[in-house]
Structure 1
Amino acid sequence: MNKNIILFLIAFIIFSIIDLIWLAYVGRPIYVYYLGDFLRENPIWSSAIIFYIFFIIGMIVFVIRPAINQLSYRYAVSYGSFYGFITYMTYELTNHAVIKAWPFGIVLIDIVWGAILSALVSVLSLFFYRRFCLN
């Protein structure tokens, strides 16, 4: 199998597991508290999957592939967290700017979560790719 496809699958699986744990167990009560009636009973999974695909492609292009090329966990952590910070901040601050009731608490929580999630996915993707594809 093509190594780029393997890398995408590694990152996609890691991202999905970590983010779904966050959304189901940790973040859910926070989002219910802050967003209440804005939340859907059931997410639109097709939209979530499209986001995951393109977000992960961006992580691979801008963070994970360069970290693999340098074999650098430091690069993966620092640029992964920066990528998550910038991308989640873009979404959150746009919502805060244009949606009347978008709470600033959610803005802060999601920006921090984006940085943590992206750093974790970048480091773990580098680890598993090195383990299974570079040996």
Structure 2
Amino acid sequence: MSSLARTALRSYAVAVVVFLVVDLVWLTVVAKDLYDDQLGPLLADPVRPVPAVLFYGLFVAGLVHFVVLPAVERDSVRRAILSGAFFGLVTYATWDLTSLSVIDGFPAALVPIDLAWGAVLSATVSGVTTALVRRSAQTPT
């Protein structure tokens, strides 16, 4: 296996764990009441796990491909954080702004909060993942 492939797999594994931990704390503790209040009857009960797993898997793959690997290559956690924030803003805007335009009654008040969360979440995951992957590459095996 090539060095790039090992770095990509290591990055993906780290990013999945960081993303799940941070986003689940947000969704189940910090913002649970916000989403319940704002989205109410639109929320699935129970949550459908297959689309959630697909989203997490694809989103993290995008972060690793477009943000983490270039940041690791440039040896820049700062770049990971800034690019991660932009990636999160753009991807979360895809959902929020499309929903605002096509779902009658979609709560406009939720949009800036969700966009900010997408940026913060993606910046955090990208920065932490890049730092950990860089550290593991410097640690002798």
TM band (smaller chain) = over 0.9
Which residue of 82, 87, 95 corresponds with 1:83? 87
- Mapping 1:76-115, distance limit 5 Å: 76-115=80-119
User: C-alpha displacement at 1:133, in angstroms?
Assistant: 2.9
Q: Identity of counterpart residues, as a percentage? A: 36
Find the counterpart in structure 2 of residue 67 from structure 1. 71
Q: Is the counterpart of residue 40 in structure 1 residue 44 in structure 2?
A: yes
Find the counterpart in structure 2 of residue 12 from structure 1. 16
Could you tell me the TM-score, scaled by structure 2's length? 0.91
Distance 2:115 2:79 in 1: 20
Q: Is the counterpart of residue 123 in structure 1 residue 121 in structure 2?
A: no
Q: Which runs of 5+ in 1 are unaligned?
A: none
Tell me the amino acid that sits aligned with residue 83 of structure 1.
F
The RMSD of aligned alpha carbons is 1.2
Aligned length: 135
User: C-alpha displacement at 1:116, in angstroms?
Assistant: 0.2
For the 8 Å contact 2:68–2:129, the answer to whether it is kept is yes
User: C-alpha displacement at 1:66, in angstroms?
Assistant: 0.6
